[in-house]
Amino acid sequence: MQQPVPTFTLTDQTGQSFGSESLKGRVWIADFIFTSCAGSCPQMTEKMAVLQRRLPAEIQFVSISVDPSRDSPPILAEYARRFGAQDQRWHFLTGSQTVITPLVAQGFRLSIAEGGSPEEPITHSIRFVLIGRDGTIRGYYDSTDPKTVEQLKQDAVALLH
């Protein structure tokens, strides 16, 4: 059974409300990062930037901060610029921790915890999540595995047809 993504509304890097309603009927790829991360987040974001360049323009990208107390819209906007994010296509989202933690853990069924290493004080999943036009999770992909990322590209394109 495919798991539906719950309804959510957060704030994007431009300061506008953005959420599941904005993504209705679209194929999208999500990940969970934070801008002060010195570990896996910059690598994941670089891989998302490559996906943005290589996948059809209809596919949307969503990076949700797991450190919303620090990741304000202006900080996310600067981070997005650093990685060449297209504003209309790649959305960096923040909101309250009380919304984000359950969204990650129960909504996307991914791990999230505080108290990691100095490079990554917040431990979180390094998987990309593919969501279909119907708002259901279609797959999880290890962002560190080139074969899995290649499979994500194929699966995302297949969902467009």
pTM for this entry: 0.93
Bigger pLDDT: 48 or 2? 48
Task: Give the pLDDT of residue 123.
Answer: 63
When the candidates are 3.20.20.150, 3.40.30.10, 3.30.930.10, 3.40.50.2000, the CATH number that belongs to 9-159 is: 3.40.30.10
Q: Where are the domains of the chain?
A: 9-159
Residues 63-113 have pLDDT tens digits of 999 999 899 999 999 999 999 999 899 999 999 989 998 998 889 988 765
The 8-class DSSP code of residue 106 comes to I
**Contact between 43 and 49 (Cβ < 8 Å):** no
Task: Report whether pLDDT(121) > 60.
Answer: no
Dihedral over Cα of 121, 126, 132, 138: its sign: negative
CA 29 remoteness from chain centre:
6
Average pLDDT over residues 128-145: 96
Task: Report whether pLDDT(120) > 60.
Answer: no
Q: How much of the chain is in helix, strand and coil states, percent to nearest 5?
A: 35, 25, 40
Residue type, 28: W
Cα gap 63→51, rounded to integer Å: 13
Q: If you average pLDDT over every residue of the chain, what do you get?
A: 91
Q: What percent of the chain has pLDDT over 90?
A: 76
